[in-house]
Structure 1
Amino acid sequence: MREILSRASLIRYAEERQQRHENQLRTFINEMPDGVIYLNENNVITLINSTAKKLLDINYEQDIIGKPVSNFINNSDFIKIIRSKNQETGKEIEFFGNKILVRSTPIFFKESYIGTVVIFQKSSYISYLDHNVRRQNLKKGMLANTTFEDLRNTTVSLRMNECIDKAIQYADTESTILITGESGTGKEMFAQSIHNTSGRRNHPFVAINCAALSQNLIESELFGYEDGAFTGAKAGGKPGYFELAHNGTLFLDELGLLPLNVQVQLLRVLQERQVLRIGGIKMIPINIRVIAATNSDLLSAVESGTFRHDLYYRINVLNISIPPLRERNDDIPLLVRHYISLYNAQFNKSISSCSKDFISAFQNHNWKGNVRELMNYIMRIVILCDGNVLTAEDIVKSEIHLSCQSKKDASDINTANVPDKNRLDLVPGTLQEMEKDIIEWYMKKYDGNRAKVCNALNISRTTLWNKLKEM
């Protein structure tokens, strides 16, 4: 008798434990944000959660367990999925006015089919999650900083103002824009300004320099890749720049340098507004505005066969041609003062003005590198300046050789006594590169005496120490 009671107690305990586990599982499934239905081998409903009932507009009080799913869902696409007994990784089906993404996984036991698990997700919820992910990318630095007001404040040129007026009109459209102009004229600044004036201003601005992309990785960078697409591919795959720019603006600089095979894919993306990742099998819809830029003659490239004619006409819907700086001579004083103010704050300087001979030297220069060249020169001069007023002597001190100067300026610079051993040959580049060259030059000049270097550069010992550690 004791043995019977003991066994009965164990059975009762096992049943209670199983019921407890079933209740836990049922609660877990009911709390899932996705709808879940489990169908047996005869497509009879054996489990359904509350989310599935809501998505499929089934009455919560209605008892549907043990009944064929076709009694409640008569959508032909859905019936086809469950009858196929194949895995469905995602098909959008409309149920009662709502677009639902349906996924199904058939279950087999010892090679016998025993049922199917069906997952339902509202397409709008997936879009919401996707939007949040892309908003995180926006916070990571995919921002446009320049506005049309910034451009207006540094120009009095009629041609530049005409370009700005045209760009403001373009900003209200969704059409593709082609910006042309020499290197350094400010094509990206125009693109950023257009983005910041458009309805996409609260979404990512993704800028890509096509010339800087590795030829081996250019497709994966632009279009993304799936997990295992190639040796070295990141686990889980990676979205490309087109996906990252979703709902925002994609700026393609140096477009003319894209290989022909990539041009074909770019044309398809622009036409279909869908991206296929490398190694992927599904098209990913994207909503972007494309702004392209080039410093080359794309029409000549079309004629020579290095640029596709169909892509050229697809890109060149709206166009802006930015004039070079040498044709905007009256803008130079404004640009000089703008960048002096900018670098005063950046390098803790207090330069208040510049002399007439300084401005004259800058206005007489040819500016082959346009505004970028001027910006780099001003940065170098500000870093090396010890006074509050910039003069032609500061140009000499900074070892900047300006072309087409007036005879007086040229005479002053040519007669300046600057021995070669004290000459700083600084090539315009990034801020980090120029800082490194300047510090190395001063370290050599003062034989490693850090106190003298700090005094010459007007920086603290801690700042110099940190800069040396980074080099």
Structure 2
Amino acid sequence: MINIVVIKPYDGIEKVIKEAFEEHPLRNSLSYEIIDTLAPLALEKAQPFNYVFSPQTDVVIARYFSAQHIRNQKITCIEIALTGYDVVIAINECIKLYNPKKIAVFTPKDTLYEASNLIEIYKQQEIILMEITDLDTLQEQLNQAKANGVDAVVGGLIVVESARKLGMQGVLTRLSKMNITKAINDAIQIVEITRKKNEENKRLRGIMDYSFGGIISTDSDGNIILINRHAQEFFGYDVQKAGPKTIWDLLPDLSRDAIKNGDVIEDELMKIKGTLITFNMVPISGKNGNSGVVITFQKVTAIQKLEGKIRNKIHEKGFYARYRFSDIITKSPTMLECIERARRFSKVNSNVLLIGETGTGKEMFAQSIHNESQRRDGPFVAINCAALPEALLESELFGYVDGAFTGAAKGGKAGLFEIAHNGTIFLDEIQDISAKLQGRLLRVIEEREIIRLGHDRVTSIDVRIISASNQDLWRKVERGEFRSDLLYRLDVLQLEIPPLAQRDQDVLLLAEYFIANHDFGFKSTVKEISPEGKLLLMEYTWPGNIRELRNFCERLCVTCDKPIADAKDVKRALYGGNIIPINLSEKPKQAGPSVTMKEMEKKIILDTLVLCGGSKKMAARELGWSKSTLWRKMKEHGIS
């Protein structure tokens, strides 16, 4: 619907206006209102026009001075156009009524030329054409006409009434239905154009506001034409409140010649309001050369953050941390103190070294530290350094380019350090990396940059390193097996995770949790463990720690078909079906290795290997260890 307001230029025109609207082919899409002109009253009282329009008004149709005033208010207005024929009709009426010798015709500039060609038909009267400009000069024009012997005037309502006050006769130039219809058509056209333009501007504004940086468009004089939301927020500039500005109000150091000449500036780093940004400027070419420039800029920190998201998205393989400190099940004071220390470590960006036996939950701590740190929105990348041979581990950590080595993936591959940018990388079993990789890792930590295999380009990274080991790395340094300078950089903050043997309160707590909340992939009848069975669990040393305890619970749920598992069921699940005569009471009561514990561990390994027919893979699974852990422990105990 198009809402039109018509200011009637004189009384008696209402019928013509209504007929023009009601006969219009688009009448069902038009809504109109007719109001009185305020021009005569404003002239009489020497006060400004006081038209008030509804916010729903799309366009106003008016004549002469009313149209001029409304346009000055920046309201869309269509002026009702006169034709030379309308002027001739009014002149004829004037001659018929008053038979004057000299007639002054007041008409807008657009009608003057057509009227001048038509008045030549009048031989008995002198016709003077006078261009209407504004109210301020009208009275002067009328006085001049009176002084020049004009008997009558032809024009609009204000012209006629003002002339009569000076003693001259006057005749209105009346409007026909054709005049009104043409004005309606012009009004419809301009509203449709305006709406289309507003829609395009709205779309452009949406594109600009939802871009990832600031956008400013200026004319060749530096006046700001468009500025998007990001730029307004960055400069603290509200277009609605502050009004128009020049680009130098925002960027005082920008060269004026650069704007005038339409210079091209690409990816220039500059500091504005204490913030480092990337700055771009390109000219806008018009018919007469440079008609302005478009400036775009973006915070470097935003680019880095986006880069991190892109890296993570491209290599989306689940590089996120699932666990939080609230997921760690414990009542042990030692473990609670360990968690509290880890929480403090989360607040800083320093590298962390986790020390603990296999199966104690080192990666769970690493993920929890990441999730409570400022890097929580970045990737969490974990890798077991003992699980891969040196060459493969190197390519995984640092990445490679196309053709770097035989079998390299086409297009190359980003390394885990690149993927972990703005996040955390967890290097498990760090003690097993080779001397060569220790050197490369040291450089990454010191320089905060990596070079892909087969490449010569440096890539900057921002990564927090959390490493883990189940061995005393300083002992390895003493034996020359680990670089001390690397360890100094990894061991900024150290967290020792207690083994399950030092967490008496947690053995039954965890067992009950695993049985009640298991996700072993089958339905179990076991609901709880008998008191005798619980005593066996409390007496066992759990060399495989929580991993071994979870595997025990899974075996128990498989092998026991009773709601309450008794001592026999527990023994069967602990030792794979054979009752191994081990003195379960020989449980260490303090931290640190002991002869008794080592002997017990060696015996358990030997018995499990016998039970599994010598299969190291099966034995590792029964013990709840990884194969690399079993091989290492066999080597430590001299088991071939």
1:429 corresponds to: 621
Q: Distance in 2 between matches of 1:98 and 1:170?
A: 30
The alpha-carbon distance between structure 1 residues 146 and 311, as it changes in their structure 2 partners (threshold 3 A), is same
Aligned partners of 2:381 and 2:425 also within 8 Å = yes
Find the residue that maps to 2:414 and give its secondary structure.
coil
| Letter of the structure 2 residue corresponding to residue 249 of structure 1 | T
Q: Secondary structure at the match of 1:246?
A: coil
By how many angstroms is 1:140 displaced? Answer: 3.0
Aligned length: 335
Taking a change above 3 Å as real, the CA distance of residues 431 and 322 of structure 1, as seen in their structure-2 partners, is closer
* Corresponding residue for residue 246 of structure 1: 421
TM-score, normalisation: structure 1: 0.62
Letter in 1 for 2:466: I
The residue identity in structure 1 corresponding to 2:347 is D
* Aligned residue type for 2:416: Y
In structure 1, how many angstroms separate the alpha carbons of the residues matched to 2:453 and 2:304? 22
Residue 197 of structure 1 aligns with an amino acid whose one-letter code is E
Amino acid at match of 1:405: L
Q: Which string of whole-angstrom CA distances, capped at 9 and with x for unpartnered residues, describes residues 84-135 of structure 1?
A: xxxxxxx974487864499xxxxxxxxxxxxxxxxx9966675355233234
Cα distance in 2, alignment partners of residues 406 and 127 from structure 1 = 57
Q: Any conservation in 1 of the 2:305–2:422 contact (CA below 8 Å)?
A: no
- Relative distance call for 1:386 and 1:271 in structure 2 (3 A) is same
Shift, 1:187, TM fit: 1.0
Secondary structure in 1 aligned to 2:390?
Answer: coil
Tell me the amino acid that sits aligned with residue 146 of structure 1. Y
In structure 2, do the counterparts of structure 1 residues 132 and 148 end up closer, same or farther at CA, with 3 Å as the change threshold? closer
1:378-407 deviation digits (Å, cap 9, x = unpaired): 111112221222222223444255743369
TM superposition shift of 1:207: 0.9
Q: In structure 1, what is the equivalent of residue 313 of structure 2?
A: 136
CA gap of 1:61–1:159, structure 2 versus 1, over 3 A, is: closer
The CA distance in 2 between the partners of 1:218 and 1:145, in whole Å, is 24
Work out the percentage of aligned pairs sharing the same amino acid: 40
Counterpart secondary structure, 1:319:
strand
Question: For residues 548 and 279 of structure 2, what CA distance do their matches in structure 1 show?
Answer: 53
**In the alignment, which of 226, 231, 235 is matched to residue 401 of structure 2?**
226
Residue 236 of structure 1 aligns with which residue?
411
Q: Is the 8 A contact 1:344 1:351 kept in 2?
A: no
Question: Which of 583, 598, 605 is the equivalent residue of 1:404?
Answer: 583
1:176 is displaced (CA, Å) by 0.5
Task: Mark the CA change 1:331 to 1:432 in structure 2 (over 3 Å): closer, same or farther.
Answer: closer
Equivalence map 1:188-267=2 (5 Å):
188-267=363-442
**Which whole-Å CA distance do the structure 2 matches of 1:57 and 1:332 have between them?**
69
* Matched-pair contact (CA < 8 Å) for 1:376–1:428: no
Mean CA deviation greater in 192-201 or 310-319: 192-201
Q: CA deviation at 1:219?
A: 1.4
Q: Which one has a bigger Cα radius of gyration? A: 2
1:297-376 matched pairs, under 5 angstroms: 297-343=472-518, 346-376=521-551
The alignment partner of 1:231 has SS state of coil
* The 10-residue stretch of structure 1 (55-64 or 141-150) with the greater mean CA deviation from structure 2: 55-64
How far apart are 1:235 and its partner, in Å? 1.6
Structure 2 SS opposite 1:343 = coil
Say if 1:352 and 1:303 are closer, same or farther in 2 by CA, change over 3 A. same
Cα distance, 1:136 vs structure 2: 2.1
Query: How far has the Cα of 1:178 moved from its partner?
Result: 0.6
Give the partner amino acid of 2:422: N
User: Structure 1, residues 283-310: CA drift from partner, whole Å, max 9, x if none?
Assistant: 2111111111101111111111111111
Alpha-carbon separation, structure 2, partners of 1:341 and 1:321:
29
In the other structure, the counterpart of 1:269 is 444
Provide the alpha-carbon RMSD of the alignment.
4.1
SS of residue matched to 1:360: helix
> Partner letter of residue 427 of structure 1?
A
Give the aligned partner of residue 167 of structure 1: 342
User: 1:10 aligns to what?
Assistant: none
How big is the shift at 1:183? 1.2
Specify every segment of 5 or more residues in structure 1 that has no aligned partner in the other structure, as ranges. Answer: 1-30, 35-54, 79-90, 103-119, 408-419, 435-471
1:382 and 2:557 matched: yes
Q: Aligned AA for 1:368?
A: P
Q: Secondary structure at the match of 1:337?
A: helix
User: Aligned pair in 2 of structure 1 residues 93, 390: CA closer, same or farther (>3 Å)?
Assistant: same
Q: Which amino acid aligns with 2:321?
A: A
Using the TM superposition, give the Cα deviation of residue 331 of structure 1 relative to its aligned residue in structure 2, in angstroms. 1.4
Could you tell me whether the CA contact under 8 Å between 2:358 and 2:625 is conserved in 1?
A: no
Q: Does 1:150 align with 2:327?
A: yes
SS state at 2:382 partner? strand
Structure of greater relative contact order (alpha carbons < 8 Å, 6+ residues apart): 1
Contact 1:343 1:382 in 2 (8 A): no
Which residue identity does 1:144 align to in structure 2? A
Distance (Å, rounded) in 1 between the aligned partners of 2:479 and 2:625: 37
List per-residue Cα deviations over 1:156-189 (Å, max 9, x = no partner): 2222111111111111111111110111111111
Say if 2:551 and 2:624, in contact at 8 Å, map to a contact too: no
Alignment of 1:18-29 (within 5 A): none
The correspondence for 2:360, drawn from 153, 166, 185, is 185
**TM-score after normalising by structure 2:** 0.46
**Distance in 1 between the 2:499 and 2:355 partners?**
11
Residue 58 of structure 1 deviates from its aligned partner by 8.9
Uncovered stretches (5+) of structure 2, i.e. residues with no partner: 1-207, 214-250, 281-295, 587-609, 627-640
Other structure's SS at 2:417 match: helix
Q: 1:233 to 1:121 in 2, by over 3 A?
A: farther
**Aligned AA for 1:133?**
I
**Cα distance change on mapping 1:244 and 1:323 into 2, 3 Å:** same
Distance 1:239 1:352, change over 3 A: same
